[in-house]
Structure 1
Amino acid sequence: MVRRRQTSETGLLRQLPLALLIWGLFSLMMWVPAVYALTLNDHPTSRSFFYAGILGLVVVTTISLARAGRPSRHGLLGQLAVLLSTFAVLPLFLAVPFHDALKTTSFLNAYFEMVSAITTTGAEMFPDPGRLSAPLHLWRAQVGWLGGLVMWIAASAILAPLSLGGFEVTAQGQPGRVLVGQGESVDPRGRLLRVAATLAPVYAGLTLVVAILLLAAGDSGLVAICHAMSVMATSGISPVGGLSGGASGLTGEAILFLFMFFALSRLTFSSDTAMRGHARLDQDPEFRIGLLILLGVPALLFLRHWSGAIDIASGENLTLALRALWGSLFTVMSFLSTTGFESTDWAEARQWSGLGTPGMILLGLSVIGGGVATTAGGVKLLRVYALYLNGTRELQRLVHPSSVSSATGRNRRIQRGGAFIAWVFFMLFAISLAAIALALAAAGSDFETAMVLSIATLSTTGPLIEIGAQEPIRLIEMPAAAKLILSGAMIIGRLETLAFIALITPALWRN
């Protein structure tokens, strides 16, 4: 009897469109800040989220009843279109309770805040934490966490079969084409539900572990849960303005540092997308090149720091050197994973060495980004690795023009011609960067501001807006046109340009 009920529930879920499932999930999650606001006696905020959640569930239920017995006919490309609508259209609904509860901002600002959260960018329209109430901070972190969960699931169930999102480097197939054996013979809706049932408990369990550890380290309940959700989603959203406002200190940073490794490679938590090569973390090229960057950049910064502070008394050097090394290590890891948390010792490291704001270093790390099929943004480590292999091969041919390359076990995950596809994506990323910067310049931004904003949004690293330039950029003071441009840039950065090309190609929608 129980098995029949589970089977009927699964069949009902398979009949519902993916857009309604996502809409219903976010509607249910609105009751979490509603209950939290109720416990704080903030009844207007509680009513805003409670009524919005009811409205969303009523709409989902009504449409579901109207579509009863009419299963969705769209395949993987239809699911990709739903993924686009999740990042572009759903924030219009998510911004309703946020705008109604805040009451002191425009709806455009609320929409921008929700797009920033659901794309795991974390760009803050309100940099002063006191501007928002505790339930609103929780809602921002919660939307970012759910956006990260959507990407975790979509990477295996939607992007991998379509050879998108970095899988075009590893899969034998044209980007956007459904791979035989993964999209044609397997039910896309069933695959999506199976992946969600497998990964959602892992994602929630890891978040709970981080929150408990941060609570034990001294953070308050709101700070612990928001930072835990932010580090798993790589959104960088904080209710206290960053790690400096928390109470966990160095212990909290060490906890977050360990869980940022999940953004370097999908093999850290799942092997469902290991199409080629060994599903071993120590042999994963993404994880290895991520470790190389993680250790190499702080080492260079440390040598620069040491040479800049060699004239300071030796009694002070050791303590300050260790703090500078940790600050560099944590901050490099944070921006490489596109989380954007800044270590409390990062300012001490710069002051100790006399180094100015290293915006170029942080911008470069964010552009590289994390692993394929993770919540991290950027160009992705696997594409960088493919370009590195191609460059190494070209240098070998300069020395030995008649040499023949042989595939080794270390690069078995990269398909033949993967470097060419990676280079095409890199060029598309550069063109998108130039186009967005040009649009922002037309909207009134100067060159430095336009470049920082473009990189921050395309790489989904919102905190770059605060620390990437010489002076923090105030988004709330920008014109409406610039805010709309940045919203579109965050959506492009989250889905990537190849996915948009796949969606607008008519040949891919035939049959």
Structure 2
Amino acid sequence: MRPIFYVIGWLILVLAVAMQVPMILDLAVGSEDWQVFAVSSALCLFFGVLLALTNRARQISLNLRQTFVLTTLAWVVTCLFSALPFMFSSLRLGFADAFFEAMSGLTTTGSTVIVGLGQLPPGLLMWRSLLQWLGGIGIVGMGIVILPFLRVGGMQLFRSESSDKSDKVVPRAADLAVAFGWAYLTLTVACALVLSFSGMRAFDAVNHAMTALATGGFSTQDASVGYWSEPAIHWTLALFMILGSLPFVRYISLMRGDAEPLWRDSQIRTFLGLLAASSLGLTAWLVTTQQMEFATAFRAATFNVVSVVTTTGYASADYTLWGAPAVAVFFVLTFTGGCTGSTAGGVKILRFEILWLALQAQMTRLFSPHRMMPLSYAGKPVDSDVILSVMSFMAVWIGITFVFTVLLSLTGLDLVTSVTGVAQALGNVGPGLGPIIGPAGNFAPLEDEAKWLLSLAMLLGRLELFTVLVLLSPSFWRT
């Protein structure tokens, strides 16, 4: 466990440094909460240095089992330390609420238990956004490097599909990490600048830029993006939510002057097609049933469809009031997610494409059993273990949804709240459906037991299920 503790120590040190940003911000505006971040940062610094020094080694080399443990344990430990400001601040959140908020932030889910965001000190608002921004870049790195290596849920296909192209332009892993960082930072700064020019305050623009690129959805207002009526703000956020949901390896090629991989990527075309079809369908529905003007309906439909499909979770309107068919569409879209190798959550487009290929092959075998049907994706063969991984992932996803729905209903929640609560947590979406956790609701009224279950569901969804579930196998721990 020493290499694992060493890496976790450095991750806690990153949190200690990050806490200096909201501390300085509170100091600048005269808020007493700067002391909260000072104490929390000191605790992170102490434990981070302690773990790093007591477990340091000349060379860190992790085997497969250690990587599984590190991936899960790092997420849990960083959430524990990230919850400290929520517990020590004027909010005085309980442990369950604080951990839920931290887990929602780092997994870029966007569910919140905090009411009265507009009255919070700026440091706490910035801390929530920072958690999602840090979680977003961590998710990109994990989704491109770690999860394909662990071969969970068919993610190894993305590794084979993307590594050749990225290796040609970025030969070393260190250069790859720097390129990801520059792309992420550049898009964040660009989003903040455009939001400022669109009529948003600089502080709100920076916060929303961080949570839009991270596809997280934390806002500085209880009404989310619905607080701002300027169409330019809505369109800007929709654009950058989409950009955050595309594979970041494509941006590396784009930065090197090669745009062809971006347009050639099958999952990007499918993703954009899904957004366009859903947005136009809901626009027609709003024009015909809600008597909205076309421009207003198109903006409302597009923004909320993009927000749900990209698993960001912003809301510009309460779409549960648009009628049962619209609510059904949003429930289905909750499961889709963005592209693999992005900050988005959900099942992801890549897996649906692999399932579609497998379904086509099975249908062909029914009427032509002797025909050879080699499956290929992006011009490369799809191994049987990839198909098995994807199907196993979908089966486990459905099974966990059923089990967690029953467990949530035992806490006193109705069926709609239970089902959509699990679906949004596993997909890292943010809002569910119903009067409690809908786009106009909040997770504060839920019992602590429900918040712990949803926190676990967020972790399972963000780490692609098997990364966590494999730790429950007794044979995994046998030497």
- Kindly indicate whether residue 253 of structure 2 is the aligned counterpart of residue 265 of structure 1: no
Tell me how far 1:422 sits from its aligned partner: 1.5
Question: Which of residues 76, 82, 95 in structure 2 aligns to 1:88?
Answer: 76
**d(CA) in 2 for partners of 1:246, 1:306:** 22
1:381 maps to what in 2? 349
Distance 1:357 1:48, change over 3 A: farther
Amino acid at match of 1:335: V
Q: Tell me the alpha carbon deviations over residues 101-121 of structure 1, each in whole angstroms, 9 at most, x when there is no partner.
A: 124432321121111111111
Match of 1:240 in 2: 221
Determine which of 144, 147, 164 is the counterpart of 1:159.
Answer: 147
* Matching residue within 23, 32, 40 for 1:34: 23
User: Are 2:436 and 2:445, in contact at CA under 8 Å, matched by a contact in 1?
Assistant: no
What TM-score do you get using the length of structure 2 for normalisation? 0.86
Q: What is the SS of the residue equivalent to 1:39?
A: helix
Please give the secondary structure, in 2, of the residue aligned with 1:405.
coil
1:309-320, aligned counterparts within 5 Å? 320=293
Tell me what 1:421 maps to: 389
Aligned to 1:202: 183
**Which residue does 1:186 correspond to in 2?**
none
Query: Residue 101 of structure 1 corresponds to which residue in structure 2?
Result: 89
Shift of 1:99: 1.6
Give the alignment's Cα RMSD to 1 decimal.
Answer: 3.2
Question: 2 CA distance for matches of 1:217 and 1:18?
Answer: 41
Change (3 A) 1:427 1:339: same
State the distance in 2 between where 1:327 and 1:473 align.
Answer: 18
Q: Report Cα offsets for 1:331-351 as digits up to 9, x if no partner.
A: 21221110112245x76xx87
Instruction: State the Cα deviation string for residues 311-331 of structure 1 (Å, max 9, x = none).
Output: x6xxxx7xx022212221222
Deviation at 1:467, TM superposition (A): 7.5
1:53 aligns with 2:41: yes
Q: How far is 1:214 from its partner?
A: 0.9
Matched position secondary structure for 1:164: coil
Task: Classify 1:306/1:105 alpha carbon distance in 2 versus 1 (closer, same or farther; 3 Å).
Answer: closer
Q: 1:467 to 1:210 in 2, by over 3 A?
A: farther
Amino acid at match of 2:81: F
Q: Alpha-carbon deviation of 1:221?
A: 1.7
Task: Compare 378-387 and 436-445 and name the one that shifted more.
Answer: 436-445
Flag the 1:279–1:458 CA change in 2: closer, same or farther, 3 A: farther
User: Counterpart amino acid of 1:144?
Assistant: Q
Unaligned stretches of 5+ residues in structure 1: 1-13, 173-180, 182-190, 273-277
Kept after mapping to 2: 8 A contact 1:15/1:71: no
In 2: Cα distance, 1:71 partner to 1:423 partner = 38
Change beyond 3 A, Cα 1:488–1:271: farther
Identify which of 478, 481, 484 aligns with 2:452. Answer: 484
Distance 1:393 1:359, change over 3 A: same
Contact persistence 2:26–2:121 (CA under 8 A): no
Q: Aligned in 2, Cα 1:410/1:154: closer, same or farther, shift over 3 Å?
A: closer
- What is the Cα deviation at residue 392 of structure 1? 2.4
Q: CA deviation at 1:226?
A: 1.1
The CA deviation at 1:303 is: 3.5
Distance in 1, Cα, partners of 2:288 & 2:395: 37
For residue 445 of structure 1, give the secondary structure of its aligned residue in structure 2: coil
Partner of 2:125: 137
1:20 pairs with 9, 34, 51, which one? 9
Q: CA deviation at 1:471?
A: 8.7
Amino acid paired to 1:238: S
2:128–2:218 contact (8 Å) kept in structure 1: yes
Closer, same or farther: CA 308–47 of 1 in aligned 2, 3 Å? closer
| Structure 1 residue aligned with 2:432 | 464
- Alignment counterpart, residue 315 of structure 2, candidates 318, 323, 342: 342
Higher mean C-alpha deviation, range 123-132 or range 411-420 = 411-420
Match in the other structure for 2:407: 439
Partner of 1:177 in structure 2?
A: none
CA distance in 2, matches of 1:23, 1:251: 38
Query: What is residue 256 of structure 1 aligned with on the other side?
Result: 237
Contact kept? 1:235, 1:338, Cα under 8 Å: yes
Q: Give the equivalent residue in structure 1 for 2:168.
A: none
Q: Percent identity?
A: 25
Of 448, 455, 466, 2:416 maps to 448
Q: Which residue of 2 aligns with 1:292?
A: 273
Q: In the alignment, does 2:305 pair up with 1:332? A: yes
What SS class does the counterpart of residue 17 from structure 1 fall into?
helix
1:231-251 CA-partner distances (Å, limit 9, x unpaired): 11111000023112236x211
Q: What amino acid does structure 2 have at the position aligned with 1:377?
A: G
Residues 1:283 and 2:264 are matched in the alignment: yes
Q: Which has the larger radius of gyration?
A: 1
**What is the alpha-carbon distance in structure 1 between the residues aligned to residue 37 and residue 73 of structure 2?**
22
After the TM superposition, which of the residue ranges 381-390 and 254-263 deviates more from structure 2?
254-263
CA contact (8 A) 2:11 2:48 kept: no
**Structure 2 residue identity aligned to 1:328:** A
* Of 93, 116, 119, the match for 1:128: 116
For 1:432 and 1:102, locate their aligned partners in 2 and report how far apart those are by CA, in whole Å. Answer: 36
CA distance in 1, matches of 2:92, 2:377: 58
- Note the 1:205-220 alignment, pairs <5 A: 205-220=186-201
Mapped to 2, the partners of 1:407 and 1:79 lie a distance apart of 30
> Deviation of residue 414 (structure 1)?
3.8
Amino acid corresponding to residue 425 of structure 1 in structure 2: F
- The normalised TM-score by structure 1 is 0.81
Contact kept? 2:211, 2:218, Cα under 8 Å: yes
Whole-angstrom distance in 1 between the partners of 2:5 and 2:476? 24
Q: Would the alpha carbon gap of residues 477 and 387 (structure 1) be closer, same or farther in structure 2, given more than 3 Å must change?
A: same
Relative to structure 1, the CA distance from residue 467 to residue 138 in structure 2 (aligned partners, 3 Å threshold; closer, same or farther) is: farther
Shift of 1:478: 1.9
Q: C-alpha distance in 2, partners of 1:402/1:90?
A: 53
CA distance 1:94–1:306, change in 2 (3 Å): closer
Q: Distance in 2 between matches of 1:288 and 1:369?
A: 14
